[in-house]
């Protein structure tokens, strides 16, 4: 009999109770005991929901108080040296300090979880001696069993993936580190076996990336030792986000189950099954329901896939499950009554996916007749959306076809443009600027809420936004910044703001997902053809420019980032969606330029995160992603300076593509990774304007001038001072006013000191 399973479930709660609990603790409104009690309530509430859903294998241990990778590091006592850790279970103060920084210690690096918009905290192994401080999966298993009678499936991040995600060691030391970690993993598994756990899910998503030739031996060693340590414990080796790269090696491992993604790696995984078969002594965890997409499953296609899988594995050795954790989708469609009916009926969030998994598991046992009515309903809903007029705009499709045939090149090269721009703007050496947003205080959020509720008129709200612009233009001038921004006080989110002004988008009321820590985002839904409907940013930007003699940057979000940070339609290629967005944003760029704005920033922080996990698919993606950016920006005058911004990804392997975007200035995160990107510029030149972020805006600490000066000094050893800009890592929306002003004052002081230093060295 087929069993139903999921790999993980959202942490945040239907009303973001998790976020509220975290922030109450951080702000001092809740003590540690209250915090822990409330977190337990949230954990148990989500388990009760899963219990009531009828899912057979309920994951436990996937819940986290911040991030599951950080949890694994803390479980093994891997605390960076700069924190005052004395051993034993990691205290909350240090746990959150690693994630967010403290007054005296910088936070650990944060970067993207594979090709998703979730961020994890990067473990630091340098000089560490791992030890088992607590058995987190065991604690979660016992809590579910003792509190609710749930025989849960503990979830554990596998050792190979954990090492691939870590820093502070030479890759040549991988086997040395495995020798350190494996005894700790073995103890975790032994204790789970002794407690009566039947299954444990060991996540190894690193196995979908291009395999290291030595990984075959490593995997045999890892999972052979696991089998010896806990022979009665059934290990489900779980892959996701793509097809398993070395399928033949994986199916030969001494584990009880293999989990494969048939949503995002369907074709390659099926091809591997056809070529190599599936072992008769193993369970197949078939990820047939997309765990990171929001669209209703085609139950007919799901049944067709299960029929194909039945050729290789009988139903009594089949887990019908989500393709990955449901962490990446909102909790429920329930309550989304403001959406177009055709769209709402075609959506499936976490709770709805539980129903789809259960239905498909039933069909695997009883045949398609058992779910015939539900199959008809799913097909009708998907058909109605595909036939909707918003997906069939011939005017948009024709215009985008025409623009996509262009190369997207500016009239002159950067080397020719740069002196023209400098002559126009007369900026000093090492010009200072910010990334775009300033603090969105409680008052700013309240004003927006009052306007959205209709309690404030548009005139009153617009007046309030202008007051904030006046305040922060004045502050920027007083601080001494060279290129100003208007502050983005009218914007809720850098993607949502533009989506609300473009055709083809829809917005949920409660469709929140976790991005990092307590930061939750509500991604727009691109469900139709995207079209420009009028100027989106001109009013606020030109108002800010009217209040100062210094240049003000126009601020836009780029086409690839809007796409990658939205839930997107699946009936056309992502490349075509990117070009639709590029065409719409190009019209906004032209509107800004026509209004007298001569510096325009088109942010693309999410280009890297959309990079396919398979190496062979990356070049094609980068080609059209770069082209989408250039189509957005190529029509401006030579003296109009195009900026872009990227953050919190590993960019060293795509510097050529970044250069090909042909932005006059790129600002890029470096401080959270402690300046590591600078190392790559020491061996690979960058001939365009660049600003490497000199302080981390995701931490509440205010870095000193000396700290920033050191960062700038190191960068200038590798980069041309004549092309170098000084800026924070990212926007300042989430920071407090006092810390923002203090940090920017230090940044400007550091820039002035470095100007004198550079001038003296010439």
Mean pLDDT, the chain, rounded, equals: 94
DSSP class of residue 557?
A: E
What does each C-alpha distance from 506 to 336, 390, 448, 536, 695 come to in angstroms? 11, 11, 19, 17, 35
Helix/strand/coil for 644: strand
What would the mean pLDDT of 525-552 be, rounded to a whole number? Answer: 97
Structure tokens at 755: 């100007």
End-to-end distance of the chain based on CA atoms, in angstroms?
77
Rounded to whole angstroms, the maximal C-alpha distance in the chain is: 82
What would the mean pLDDT of 45-53 be, rounded to a whole number? Answer: 97
pLDDT at 720: 93
Q: Are 26 and 35 in contact (CB under 8 A)?
A: no
pLDDT of 676 > 70? The answer is: no
Q: Which residue in the list 328, 486, 643, 698 is annotated as catalytic? A: 698
- Encode pLDDT of 428-458 as tens digits: 999 999 999 999 999 999 999 999 999 999 9
pLDDT at 50: 97
- Encode pLDDT of 337-390 as tens digits: 999 999 999 999 999 999 999 999 999 999 999 999 999 999 999 999 999 999
Nearest to 689 by CA among 757, 755, 641, 629: 641
Q: What is the CA radius of gyration of the chain?
A: 26
User: What distance in Å separates the CA atoms of residue 670 and residue 657, rounded to the nearest whole number?
Assistant: 18
Is there a binding annotation on residue 730?
yes
pLDDT at 184: 98
Beta partners for 201? 155, 236
User: Order of strands across the sheet with 665-668?
Assistant: 553-557, 599-603, 641-646, 665-668, 689-692, 724-725
Alpha helices (runs of H) in 258-371, residue ranges in sequence order: 266-276, 299-309, 341-344, 350-366
Is there a binding annotation on residue 647?
yes
Please say if 674 is a catalytic residue. Answer: no
User: What distance in Å separates the CA atoms of residue 129 and residue 116, rounded to the nearest whole number?
Assistant: 31
Is there a binding annotation on residue 220?
no
- Encode pLDDT of 240-285 as tens digits: 999 999 999 999 999 999 999 999 999 999 999 999 999 999 999 9
pLDDT at 760: 85
Q: Which domains does the chain have, with CATH numbers?
A: 3-386 (3.20.20.210), 414-441+480-761 (3.20.20.210)
Is there a binding annotation on residue 488?
yes
User: What distance in Å separates the CA atoms of residue 535 and residue 554, rounded to the nearest whole number?
Assistant: 12
- Encode pLDDT of 171-191 as tens digits: 999 999 999 999 999 999 999
pLDDT of 680 > 80? The answer is: no
Structure tokens at 326: 């449901």
Is there a binding annotation on residue 17?
yes
To which H or E segment does residue 69 belong? helix 68-75
Is there a binding annotation on residue 624?
no
Is there a binding annotation on residue 603?
yes
Is there a binding annotation on residue 436?
yes
Is there a binding annotation on residue 18?
yes
- Encode pLDDT of 190-224 as tens digits: 999 999 999 999 999 999 998 888 999 999 999 99
* Cα atoms found within 13 Å of the Cα of residue 691, Cβ hemisphere only: 31
What does each C-alpha distance from 707 to 269, 676, 727, 754 come to in angstroms? 49, 15, 14, 12
Beta partners for 519? 516
Instruction: Note the pTM of the prediction, 2 decimals.
Output: 0.91
Is there a binding annotation on residue 565?
yes
To which H or E segment does residue 713 belong? helix 705-716
User: What distance in Å separates the CA atoms of residue 55 and residue 361, rounded to the nearest whole number?
Assistant: 10
pLDDT at 548: 98
Nearest to 672 by CA among 99, 190, 267: 99
What would the mean pLDDT of 650-665 be, rounded to a whole number? Answer: 86
What confidence tier does 648 reach under pLDDT thresholds 50, 70, 90? low
Alpha helices (runs of H) in 595-704, residue ranges in sequence order: 615-633, 655-660, 676-681
Is there a binding annotation on residue 519?
yes
Least confident of 9-18, 399-408, 578-587: 399-408
Is there a binding annotation on residue 437?
yes
Q: Are 106 and 96 in contact (CB under 8 A)?
A: no
What confidence tier does 762 reach under pLDDT thresholds 50, 70, 90? low
pLDDT of 136 > 60? The answer is: yes
What does each C-alpha distance from 280 to 275, 277, 283, 594 come to in angstroms? 15, 9, 8, 68
Structure tokens at 587: 């019209």
* Cα atoms found within 13 Å of the Cα of residue 14, Cβ hemisphere only: 9
User: What distance in Å separates the CA atoms of residue 301 and residue 293, rounded to the nearest whole number?
Assistant: 16
Q: Are 612 and 623 in contact (CB under 8 A)?
A: no
């Amino acid at each position: 009999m087929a069993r139903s399973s999921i790999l993980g479930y959202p942490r945040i709660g239907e009303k973001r109770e998790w976020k509220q609990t975290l922030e109450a603790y951080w702000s001092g409104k809740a003590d540690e005991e209250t915090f822990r009690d409330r977190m337990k309530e949230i954990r148990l509430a989500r388990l009760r929901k899963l219990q009531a859903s009828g899912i057979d294998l309920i994951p436990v241990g996937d819940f986290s108080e911040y991030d599951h990778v950080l949890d694994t590091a803390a479980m093994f006592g891997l605390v960076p040296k700069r924190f005052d850790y004395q051993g034993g279970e990691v205290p909350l103060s240090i746990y959150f300090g690693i994630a967010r920084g403290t007054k005296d210690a910088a936070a650990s690096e944060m970067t993207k979880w594979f090709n998703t918009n979730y961020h994890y905290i990067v473990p630091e192994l340098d000089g560490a001696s791992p030890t088992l401080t607590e058995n987190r999966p065991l604690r979660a298993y016992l809590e579910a069993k003792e509190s609710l009678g749930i025989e849960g499936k503990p979830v554990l991040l596998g050792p190979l993936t954990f090492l691939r995600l870590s820093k502070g060691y030479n890759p040549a030391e991988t086997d040395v580190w495995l020798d350190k970690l494996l005894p700790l993993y073995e103890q975790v598994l032994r204790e789970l076996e002794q407690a009566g756990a039947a299954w444990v899910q060991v996540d190894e998503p690193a196995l979908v990336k291009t395999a290291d030739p030595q990984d075959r031996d490593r995997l045999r060693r890892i999972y052979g030792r696991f089998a010896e340590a806990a022979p009665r414990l059934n290990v489900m080796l779980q892959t996701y986000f793509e097809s398993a790269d070395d399928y033949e090696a994986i199916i030969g491992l001494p584990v009880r189950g293999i989990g494969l993604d048939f949503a995002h790696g369907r074709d390659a995984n099926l091809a591997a099954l056809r070529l190599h078969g599936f072992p008769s002594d193993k369970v197949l965890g078939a990820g047939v329901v997309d765990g990171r997409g929001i669209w209703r499953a085609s139950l007919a296609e799901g049944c067709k896939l299960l029929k194909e899988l039945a050729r290789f594995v009988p139903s009594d050795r089949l887990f019908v499950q989500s393709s990955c954790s449901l962490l990446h989708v909102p909790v429920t469609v329930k309550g989304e009554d403001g959406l177009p009916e055709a769209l709402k009926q075609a959506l499936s969030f976490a709770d709805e996916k539980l129903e789809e998994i259960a239905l498909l598991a039933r069909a695997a046992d009883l045949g398609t007749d058992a779910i015939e009515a539900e199959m008809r309903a799913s097909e009708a809903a998907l058909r109605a959306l595909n036939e909707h007029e918003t997906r069939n705009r011939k005017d948009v499709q024709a215009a985008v076809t025409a623009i996509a045939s262009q190369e997207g090149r500016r009239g002159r090269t950067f080397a020719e443009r740069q002196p023209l721009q400098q002559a126009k703007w007369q900026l000093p050496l090492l010009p200072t600027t910010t990334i775009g947003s300033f603090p969105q205080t409680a008052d700013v959020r309240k004003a927006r809420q009052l306007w959205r509720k209709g309690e404030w008129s548009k005139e009153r709200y617009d007046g309030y936004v202008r007051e904030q612009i006046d305040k922060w233009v004045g502050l920027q001038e007083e601080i001494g910044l060279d290129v100003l921004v208007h502050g983005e006080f009218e914007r809720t989110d850098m993607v949502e703001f533009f989506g609300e002004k473009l055709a083809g988008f829809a917005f949920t009321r409660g469709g929140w997902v976790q991005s990092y820590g307590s930061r939750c985002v509500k991604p727009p839904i691109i469900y139709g053809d995207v079209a420009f409907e009028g100027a989106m940013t001109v009013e606020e930007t030109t108002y800010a420019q009217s209040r100062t003699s210094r240049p003000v940057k126009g601020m836009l979000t780029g086409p690839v980032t809007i796409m990658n940070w939205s839930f997107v339609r699946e009936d056309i290629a992502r490349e075509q969606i990117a070009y639709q967005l590029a065409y719409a944003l190009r019209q906004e760029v032209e509107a800004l330029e026509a209004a007298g704005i001569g510096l325009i920033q088109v942010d693309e922080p999410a280009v890297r995160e959309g990079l396919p996990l398979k190496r062979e698919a990356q070049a094609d993606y980068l080609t059209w992603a770069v082209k989408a950016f250039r189509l957005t920006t190529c029509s401006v005058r030579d003296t109009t300076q195009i900026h872009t911004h990227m953050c919190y990804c590993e960019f060293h392997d795509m510097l050529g593509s970044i250069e090909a975007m042909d932005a006059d200035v790129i600002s890029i995160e470096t401080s959270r990774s402690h300046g590591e990107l600078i190392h790559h510029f020491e061996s690979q030149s960058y001939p365009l304007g660049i600003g490497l972020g000199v302080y981390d805006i995701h931490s509440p600490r205010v870095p000193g001038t000396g700290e920033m000066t050191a960062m700038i000094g190191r960068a200038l050893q590798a980069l041309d001072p004549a092309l170098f800009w000084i800026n924070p890592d990212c926007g300042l929306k989430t920071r407090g006013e006092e810390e923002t002003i203090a940090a920017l004052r230090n940044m400007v002081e550091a820039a002035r000191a470095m100007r004198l230093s550079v001038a003296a060295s010439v």
